[in-house]
Amino acid sequence: MNIAVLSRNPQLYSTRRLIEAIKEKGHQGRVIDHLKCDLIMDEDGPSIFYKGEQLVDIDAIIPRIGASVTFYGTAVVRQFEMMHVFSAIDSLAITRSRDKLRSLQILSRAKIGMPKTAFTNYSKTENQVLHHIGDAPVVIKLLEGTQGLGVILADTNKAAKSVVEAFESLKTRVILQEFIKEAGGADIRAFIVNGEVVGAMKRQGKEGEFRSNLHRGGSAQVIKLSRTEKSTALKAAKCMGLAIAGVDMLQSKKGPMVLEVNSSPGLEGIEKATNIDIAGKIIEFIEQNALKKKLPKDKINA
């Protein structure tokens, strides 16, 4: 098969590992910068041109779409889907997962454990919102934040109100979330491929840091998930429509609480912590499903 990795940087660990795994499985692999793709629609059907070349021989794609280019990136993925090319990650699922508020609403509807979360349109009602989620400390998150950026811990109700008012003065949307103290600045990343947890790690924030992101200087170690943690992660990925996902959870007194379901989870941290060939498992998933994607035109959803 000819498999393309949609990535803006071929030197990134995840991109390199996927290309290596593609070749190790005996397939042809290439990196395509999705921002350099031209999408053409006419009476002959949808097509894609990349650096002047029409892409006609791609059997499957692995989207690695950055949060800052979600709109155009998912448009490219959707165009491939319209051309009957199998995508390891569904375009609609990427869009759904990137909308923090929408994804939390979906998780809440599915009755999945999560920190109590509030969203308001008017800062003067902030004290009422805090009443719903409990007193400070409270976590305040930008709706567009990634990798721990735009996440603030407010120690007092007054500080929380001031932070929200400051963001709203800049026309920036935020959510307020219950602070899970017993998590101790750590979280769990469960990596899911095709309805199976293929690896899990516990990430610990550096001293004095409540965010556990590896990009923020945190550390990671392999962990064995409990039955409840595993079922929670699988349910979260399924309700988001993601065959490949990184589900981030907190360990709390009430059980696992889902923070986020990531549609482009990085491979470096999980592979190094677990010594598991996650990239290879993604290619195996594509091998099992790519040929099934050859659907008649009337079965393609817009």
| pLDDT per residue as tens digits for the range 231-281 | 999 999 999 999 999 999 999 999 999 999 999 999 999 999 999 999 999
Token couple for 192: 């899911």
| CA 266 – CA 276 distance, rounded (Å) | 14
- Which residue in this structure is represented by tokens 């379901």? 261
pTM of the model: 0.86
Token couple for 14: 């995840």
3-state DSSP assignment of residue 15: helix
Token couple for 142: 């930008």
Q: How far is the CA of 60 from the CAs of 3, 125, 236, in angstroms? A: 5, 49, 25
- What region, left, alpha or beta, does residue 121 occupy, with left being phi > 0 and alpha being psi -120 to 50 degrees? alpha
| pLDDT per residue as tens digits for the range 195-220 | 999 999 998 876 655 555 555 556 78
Checking if the pLDDT of 297 tops 60, the result is no
